[in-house]
Amino acid sequence: MSKETATRPTKLYFSIVFTVIFFISLILLICWLSLRPHEPKFHVHNFSVLGLADHGLESARFVYNVSVRNSNRRVGISYDTLTTAIYHNGRPIGITPSFNSFDQEPKTTLYISHVLTGGAIAAAAGSGDTWKEIVGDRGSGKVEFQLELRTSLRYERTMWDLRRHGVRAKCQVPVGGDGALLAGYVGQECPS
């Protein structure tokens, strides 16, 4: 028997195995691309500073309303504790835990709304400069604030992504002299 006839079935065997592995991988890749969960999307609907005309950061109240959309058709989302941070010109002026862990069903939108007062913005109360800057900006009709929502999440009912993911949704929330979110920013997405 020649050497060639002995190896031919082995070659055929391996090419079949490799073809099968290739197609299984391709199918898994397509499944992963179409079934992997989408990240929730955050949009700011309201942000308002009450008492902006008053005497200091200690007496101001920050109110926000942000929507969270889970666009997945079957995948639920389980969120960990949500923390709110507020910045003025990129400098932190307040941070507080806002919500305990919560779950979100597929294809639903949640509205997250919270008021930050006194204690939550105490870190900034010591800094008279921040308040002076805010008062100065108010005169010009635009005070730049940034709102950041931090949490971590896990996708439910999926076999494709079992990790916990950190999330930081950053909303640009400049307000006018009256403390209300500037009209052009209502409904804007908060990239995460």
Among 41, 45, 154, 170, which residue interacts with ligand NAG (rule: CB under 6 A)?
A: 45
Is residue 108 a contact residue for ligand NAG (CB under 6 A)? no
User: Residues touching ligand NAG: how many (CB under 6 A)?
Assistant: 7
Query: Of residues 59, 65, 108, 188, which one binds ligand NAG by CB under 6 A?
Result: 65
Q: Among 35, 63, 122, 135, which residue sits at the site for ligand NAG (rule: CB under 6 A)?
A: 63
Nearer to ligand NAG, 95 or 175 (CB): 175
| CA distances from residue 127 to 13, 56, 94, 122, 147 in whole angstroms, order as listed | 75, 10, 12, 9, 19
**Which span sits near ligand NAG by CB under 6 A: 10-18, 33-41, 44-52, 89-97?**
44-52
Provide φ and ψ at 17, rounded to 5°.
Answer: -60, -45
Answer yes or no: are the C-beta atoms of 185 and 102 closer than 8 Å. no
Residue with smaller CB distance to ligand NAG, 45 or 165? 45
Dihedral of alpha carbons 82, 88, 92, 96, sign: negative
Stretch near ligand NAG under the rule CB under 6 A, chosen from 23-31, 41-49, 86-94, 138-146: 41-49
Nearer of residues 45 and 154 to ligand NAG, judged by Cβ? 45
188 contacts ligand NAG (rule: CB under 6 A): no
Does 178 participate in binding ligand NAG (rule CB under 6 A)? no
Q: Comparing C-alpha atoms, which of 102, 190, 101, 98 is closest to residue 148?
A: 190
Nearest of 187, 144, 178 to residue 48 by alpha carbon: 178
- The overall longest dimension of the chain from CA atoms, in Å, is 100
Phi, psi dihedrals of residue 178, rounded to the nearest 5°: -85, 0
Query: For residue 19, which phi and psi values (nearest 5 degrees)?
Result: -65, -45
CB of 185 to ligand NAG, least distance (A): 12
**How many separate helices (H) and strands (E) can be counted in the chain?**
3, 10
Residue 117 makes contact with ligand NAG by CB under 6 A = no
Residue choice 113, 117, 152, 188 for contact with ligand NAG (CB under 6 A): 113
- Asked if 182 is part of the footprint of ligand NAG (rule: CB under 6 A), the reply reads no
Q: List interacting residues with ligand NAG (CB under 6 A).
A: 45-46, 48, 63, 65, 111, 113
